[in-house]
Amino acid sequence: MIILVHGVAAGCFLTVMTGWAAWLVAVLVLALGTAAAWDRALLRAARSVRAIEIRPSGEAFCLLADGEWLPIAAPGRAVTRRWVSLRLRSPWRRSLIVTAGLLPREAFRLLRIWALWGRLPGVAPRQLAGLP
């Protein structure tokens, strides 16, 4: 779909412009669509996200395709019922948007809780020790 939309945009440039500049812009727009699909939609880039791990300590990390782990800043940027926007701690100031359909229902609920509060639900420490 991304390549199709960029192809239509390239066609629009060819209809409103003439000469070599029109062809150059059309080719560049189509190349941009192909690169965007490869990187974002197909997740084939080396820096594509593969997994999110929330550790018992409350820290969260994002595994990239190249094997690098990036820490995720808590709380998240924005949390709604349908999606969570997370800020990755990297030199590129990347963000990660996770929608409800990408995870099982319970896993998405836990991610939303973590993004809001920076920790997962659990039992109070005194309760585990059996103290009053």
Instruction: Record the tokens describing residue 68, joined without a space.
Output: 């690098």
Using an 8 Å Cβ cutoff, are 112 and 84 in contact? Answer: yes
More confident call, 79 vs 128: 79
Of these ranges, 58-67, 89-98, 115-124, the one predicted with the greatest mean pLDDT is 58-67
Neighbouring residues of 14: CB distance < 8 A, sequence distance ≥ 6: 22, 23, 26
The rounded percent of the chain whose pLDDT value lies above 70 is 89
| Cα three-residue angle 66-72-77, rounded to 5 degrees | 130
Judged against a pLDDT cut of 60, whether residue 110 lies above it is answered with: yes
Confidence at residue 55, expressed as pLDDT on a 0 to 100 scale: 85
Domain locations in the chain as residue ranges: 2-41, 49-117
What global pTM score does this model have?
Answer: 0.64
Q: Which residue in 92, 93, 96, 94 sits closest to 115, CA to CA?
A: 96
> What whole-number distance in Å separates Cα of residue 128 and Cα of residue 111?
24
Neighbouring residues of 31: CB distance < 8 A, sequence distance ≥ 6: none
Instruction: Record the tokens describing residue 11, joined without a space.
Output: 């066609």
pLDDT digit string, tens, across residues 85-95: 998 887 777 78
